[in-house]
Structure 1
């Protein structure tokens, strides 16, 4: 496992910045929250359920005055607006938004229910827009901001049996490019990250559901050119870069983090 501890010889890369991270209690979101806090950001930790585990995680991130745990369902524009208002009241601004909250909805297209179609887009696409729409006025007022959308390799390549998830992720990459161009002249950057297979709780659960979990894990690793599965911290470090002023000329683009898997023509 790669360490999230920053080299002591370098200053924090997000000092003075305020970052809102959705779906921040586990997986990639949690890795971003840890790394951002370590690099000096004040962090709004968005969770859908403010349970004991979420509160313990938020408490582990650093000084309480620098961390704000907020319960909000990104599907609800009203809840998102209330969360952003509370964050502004607490910290005065939001410099960085990481739209990480997402769900997997995989189905045969003709077997997909209307409810599941709506649920997929409500979280994976509309939820990101709710958050971006809520923070953009504050970023515009400050003349700067970085929005980072966690997309997916499904937004680049189609895997059979995964409908409608790739449709939503293609839409999220489109949202990234459109907003990035729309607000570029105002000092706001909008980029996305497309992870491949990453060792999150969802991935671990899929391995555990196999007849031979260890064999399935190895099979998945062997599909990757680097012969290993990615880690949440590796996505978080890219988000850290995009959130920082180091990436000030990167806008309206998507970065693939999949160990090269999506570039293979065939196995």
Structure 2
């Protein structure tokens, strides 16, 4: 069991990549806190995953909610070995069409929410002199696609946060890394394809953008998170691993 005995908190674990990470962690022996804002999906995922999953309502935009969730986790489990910051939202606009509210909404979840969670768990990890933080970034953290502002700004910032914390606390046994997923076949992706007149054609077009002629699965991101959270990666710190089938290094005209 690669995560046997570890206590993990996974934000945004009610569906999609977060739920896949929670499931993989439990399969590998961890106890997992489903830290989710949506009470319905959070409770349903915890119930589906069984006795080693526990749902705690968590809004990463609210420091009081974050602090309460971490305090409840510590009271229940006695420690936190792994934090996966998966909660995130897509905010895509042309820059000058971005309102102050949309900018603030994106930053509050995709960047500041990650910092709130890190700030809440780091004292415990420092006391333990051990811990692994895994931040779910994006291919937008290294590439820019027009019309997706300000999402890549937040994700570039997330890489800076990952590197800064990883260097700051490395000597105290804490590793901080990121995963940068590309296009992943989540329910949200399927819902997006279904907005087109020919969903199958749009799916095929998306597949053809990638060297393997398919896109990623949530489980493939999840197993990368298992590796980074495990004792198999003790010297991997302050870096980001792309899970995108090679698209980010593909030559484009």
TM-score normalised by structure 1 residue count: 0.93
Indicate which of 229, 240, 249 corresponds to 1:254: 240
Establish whether residue 238 from structure 1 lines up as the match of residue 227 from structure 2. no
Q: Deviations over 1:130-172 (max 9, x none)?
A: 0000000000000100000000000001001000000000000
Larger deviation, residues 158-167 vs 66-75: 66-75
Residue in structure 2 matched with residue 6 of structure 1 by the alignment: none
Tell me if structure 2 keeps the 8 A contact 1:144–1:188. yes
Indicate which of 43, 47, 51 corresponds to 1:59: 47
Find the residue that maps to 1:251 and give its secondary structure. coil
| Partner Cα distance (1:248, 1:13) in 2 | 13
| Partner Cα distance (1:57, 1:168) in 2 | 27
Indicate which of 22, 32, 55 corresponds to 1:33: 22
Establish whether residue 22 from structure 1 lines up as the match of residue 14 from structure 2. no
Tell me if structure 1 keeps the 8 A contact 2:36–2:58. yes
Tell me if structure 2 keeps the 8 A contact 1:145–1:189. yes
Residue in structure 2 matched with residue 178 of structure 1 by the alignment: 164
- Please provide the CA RMSD for this pair: 0.8
Find the residue that maps to 2:3 and give its secondary structure. coil
Q: Quote the offset at 1:67 in angstroms.
A: 2.3
Residue in structure 2 matched with residue 5 of structure 1 by the alignment: none
| Partner Cα distance (2:118, 2:165) in 1 | 9
Residue in structure 2 matched with residue 44 of structure 1 by the alignment: 33
Residue in structure 1 matched with residue 181 of structure 2 by the alignment: 195
Q: Quote the offset at 1:68 in angstroms.
A: 1.8
Residue in structure 2 matched with residue 76 of structure 1 by the alignment: 62
Find the residue that maps to 1:160 and give its secondary structure. coil
Q: Quote the offset at 1:99 in angstroms.
A: 0.1
TM-score normalised by structure 2 residue count: 0.98
Runs of 5+ in structure 1 lacking a partner? 1-11
Q: Quote the offset at 1:265 in angstroms.
A: 2.2
Alignment of 1:148-227 (within 5 A): 148-227=134-213
Tell me if structure 1 keeps the 8 A contact 2:183–2:244. yes
Q: Quote the offset at 1:56 in angstroms.
A: 2.5
| Partner Cα distance (1:124, 1:97) in 2 | 15
Runs of 5+ in structure 2 lacking a partner? none
Q: What is the aligned residue count?
A: 253
Tell me if structure 2 keeps the 8 A contact 1:192–1:254. yes
Q: Quote the offset at 1:204 in angstroms.
A: 1.1
